């Protein structure tokens, strides 16, 4: 009997030990499975991706209040090349009163700001909470490869993004096209891109009146010239060549592909190297007689229409806008909405990007204007403009990866063509 009691006591002891161990193990597993509070900017962006708008606003509000309590001088710094962000910031403050007076827009020029971003990335220092930049080459080599600028992509019924526009996250898309005053020369002055090389075709004459800002001083034009050598450009130029010259293109051993040949002949034929797209588009009112072909942003039409003489856009033609041109009409490029990994207010950054990419936010910044297209395809361009999908079909489209891979060789070739 005593032995039986001893055995039962041992069994009960073992049961208690295993029960305690099991309880302890369960508790540890629960602790391990619960996600730790996000601490890095990247972790907070990942958390924000899973939040509803209300949850993200609550997180941003708490973040801002805590930061201001710690330092009353705290502000949310939004750095951008486009003043549209300033308008977005003003509208953001009205929508979220807790942010009023705490959002600071900083106007940044690409060529001046890039070294600042580069230095911040190398030193792992704070530079801003939100950055909107352009120039695919700089983005890839200096920011993405270094892991310094991060993406947040909003989700929900109001948001829809095309493949390839979310990592990195595109904010606003722009285009540069060939524009001319058609009063004297007519809408059909430019019908095939090979006319811009100056060579005559079987039924069309070469043109010698293009005005372009030098790619040596304009990053977007450099990327445009590089994209002329891309596989997509080769396909487009080959088809346009046959249509223009009435024969198949025969490869020239002096050039890597037809794009390099076109680039060389186009650059040699450019008549005017203007310093400002804005000034040159405004001057279109004076180019009725010669029909000068200006390569500039369609968005610059706002400056043309803002002249005291109130000229009508009905006097203008734009490749891909209201005139069809074989080959390509121009160049489509992006400004990306990104968050530095050293941002102090990452939840607020995510909420700001969500607002900028909403219909309300986009219209606050760029509504009612030609040449501005939200990455959120639910938002349509203004009446009289073309949908972004159409621009993708008619223009060369900036490709971060291609520009990165071809940059060294293509840039060297372009400099040679321009005497450098």
186 lies in some domain = yes
Residue 24: which residues within 8 A CB-CB, separation 6 or more? none
Q: What is the mean pLDDT of residues 290-315?
A: 91
Residues 257 and 164 in one domain: no
Residues 228 and 97 in one domain: no
Looking at residue 93, which CATH number applies to its domain? 3.40.190.10
Residues 189 and 314 in one domain: yes
288 lies in some domain = yes
Of 20-24, 199-203, 286-290, give the range with the top mean pLDDT: 199-203
pLDDT of residue 335: 96
Residues 153 and 53 in one domain: yes
User: Predicted confidence band at 35 (pLDDT cuts at 50, 70, 90)?
Assistant: low
Instruction: Read off the DSSP letter of residue 98.
Output: G
**pLDDT tops 70 at residue 30:** no
325 lies in some domain = yes
Cβ density class 357-372: b for 16+ within 10 Å, e for less: bbeebbbbbbbebbbb
Residues 166 and 192 in one domain: no
Higher pLDDT, 152 or 140: 152
- Summarised one tens digit per residue, pLDDT across range 157-182 is 999 999 999 999 999 999 999 999 99
- Element (DSSP H or E) covering residue 85: helix 84-95
Residues 204 and 156 in one domain: no
Name the residue range of residue 96's domain: 41-171+334-386
pLDDT of residue 200: 98
Q: What is the number of structural domains in the chain?
A: 2
11 lies in some domain = no
Percent of the chain's residues with pLDDT above 90: 85
Beta bridge partners of 318: 179
Residues 216 and 86 in one domain: no
User: Predicted confidence band at 23 (pLDDT cuts at 50, 70, 90)?
Assistant: very low
pLDDT of residue 14: 39
- Summarised one tens digit per residue, pLDDT across range 361-384 is 999 999 999 999 999 999 999 999
**pLDDT tops 70 at residue 26:** no
Residues 303 and 204 in one domain: yes
Which stretch of 5-9, 80-84, 248-252 has the lowest confidence by average pLDDT?
5-9
- Specify the 3-state DSSP secondary structure of 68: helix
CA distance 94 to 138: 34
Residues 377 and 413 in one domain: no
pLDDT of residue 310: 77
**pLDDT tops 80 at residue 25:** no
Beta bridge partners of 332: 175, 397
pLDDT of residue 259: 98
Q: What is the mean pLDDT of residues 100-125?
A: 94
Looking at residue 280, which CATH number applies to its domain? 3.40.190
pLDDT of residue 118: 95
Beta strands at 330-340 and 103-107: parallel, antiparallel or unpaired: unpaired
**pLDDT tops 50 at residue 77:** yes
**pLDDT tops 60 at residue 332:** yes
**pLDDT tops 90 at residue 36:** no
**pLDDT tops 70 at residue 262:** yes
Render 161-196 in DSSP notation, one character per residue: B-TTSBTTBEEEEEEEEEEEE-TTT-TTS--BGGGG
pLDDT of residue 33: 38
Residues 212 and 103 in one domain: no
CA distance 152 to 43: 11
Residues 93 and 104 in one domain: yes
306 lies in some domain = yes
Q: What is the mean pLDDT of the chain?
A: 91
């Amino acid at each position: 009997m005593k032995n039986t009691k001893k055995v039962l006591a041992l069994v009960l002891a073992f049961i208690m030990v295993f029960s305690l161990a099991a309880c302890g193990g369960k508790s540890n597993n629960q602790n391990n499975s619960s996600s730790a509070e996000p601490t890095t900017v990247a972790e907070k962006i990942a958390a924000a991706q899973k939040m509803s708008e209300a949850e993200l606003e609550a997180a941003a509000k708490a973040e801002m209040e805590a930061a201001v309590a710690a330092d009353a001088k705290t502000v949310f710094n939004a750095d951008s090349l486009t003043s549209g962000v300033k308008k977005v910031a003003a509208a953001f403050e009205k929508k979220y009163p807790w942010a009023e007076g705490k959002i600071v827009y900083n106007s940044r020029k690409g060529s001046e700001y890039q070294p600042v971003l580069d230095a911040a990335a190398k030193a792992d220092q704070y530079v801003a909470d939100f950055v909107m930049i352009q120039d695919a080459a700089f983005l890839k080599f200096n920011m993405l490869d270094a892991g310094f600028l991060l993406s947040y992509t909003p989700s929900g019924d109001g948001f829809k993004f095309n493949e390839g526009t979310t990592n990195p996250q595109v904010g606003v898309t722009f285009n540069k096209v060939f524009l001319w005053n058609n009063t004297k020369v007519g809408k059909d002055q430019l019908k095939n891109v090979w006319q811009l090389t100056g060579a005559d075709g079987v039924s069309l004459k070469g043109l010698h009146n293009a005005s372009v800002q030098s790619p040596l001083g304009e990053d977007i034009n450099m990327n445009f010239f590089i994209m002329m050598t891309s596989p997509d450009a080769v396909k487009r130029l080959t088809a346009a060549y046959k249509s223009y010259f009435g024969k198949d293109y025969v490869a020239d051993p002096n050039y890597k592909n037809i794009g390099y040949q076109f680039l060389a002949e186009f650059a040699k034929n450019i008549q005017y190297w203007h310093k400002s797209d804005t000034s040159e588009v405004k001057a279109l009112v004076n180019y009725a007689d010669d029909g000068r072909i200006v390569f500039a942003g369609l968005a610059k039409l706002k400056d043309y229409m803002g002249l005291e003489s109130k000229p009508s856009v009905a006097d203008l033609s734009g490749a891909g806008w209201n005139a069809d041109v074989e080959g390509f009409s121009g160049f489509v490029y992006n400004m990306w909405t990104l968050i530095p990994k050293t941002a102090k207010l990452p939840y607020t950054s995510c909420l700001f990007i969500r607002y900028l990419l909403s219909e309300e936010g986009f219209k606050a910044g760029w509504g009612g204007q030609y040449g501005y297209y939200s990455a959120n395809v639910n938002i349509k361009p203004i009446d009289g403009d073309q949908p972004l999908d159409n621009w993708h079909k008619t223009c060369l489209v900036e490709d971060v990866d291609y520009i990165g891979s071809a940059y060294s060789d293509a840039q060297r070739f372009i400099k040679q063509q321009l005497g450098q």
